[in-house]
Amino acid sequence: MSIVYKAVISAADKVVPRGLRPLWEHPAGPKTIFFWAPAFKWGLVIAGIGDITRPAEKVSISQCSALAATGIVWSRYSLVIIPKNWSLFSVNVFVGATNVYHLVRAMLYQQEKKKLESENIKIQ
């Protein structure tokens, strides 16, 4: 660990209230990477929610597929590792869910587009 991080944790140790001590001292608590990695990963969820208003034709199927697979795989992994990391589990469920939603939207758009193109070819 870096000297700065240790200094920040030492300073925070003195001001953490008694009621929050169990969370603070937890093996997957704020003193460890097991806390901070999922905390920052919520940015992917926020971006996915922000993309709900994005038109379906601008949604990347390959990107959504990769993020959905990542969310699903890491959701499972977070329940197998010790200590169980419920924070990692929850963020990955949301990453997977938001990207499955976008993936379905994009695929339905692509199917509708192909259907309209085939109908236009038949009419001509």
The domain limits of the chain are: 1-31, 37-123
Residue 83 CB contacts under 8 Å (≥ 6 apart), including other chains = 26, 27, 28, 34
Q: Tokens 């990769």 sit at which residue?
A: 66
pLDDT at 50 over 90: yes
Torsion of CA 88, 90, 94, 95, to 10 degrees: 10
Which tens digits make up the pLDDT trace of 100-112? 999 999 999 999 9
Radius of gyration of the chain (CA): 21
Q: Is residue 1's pLDDT more than 70?
A: no
**pTM of the predicted structure, to 2 decimals:** 0.76
CA–CA separation, 88 and 80 (whole Å) = 11
Q: What is the mean pLDDT of residues 19-24?
A: 85
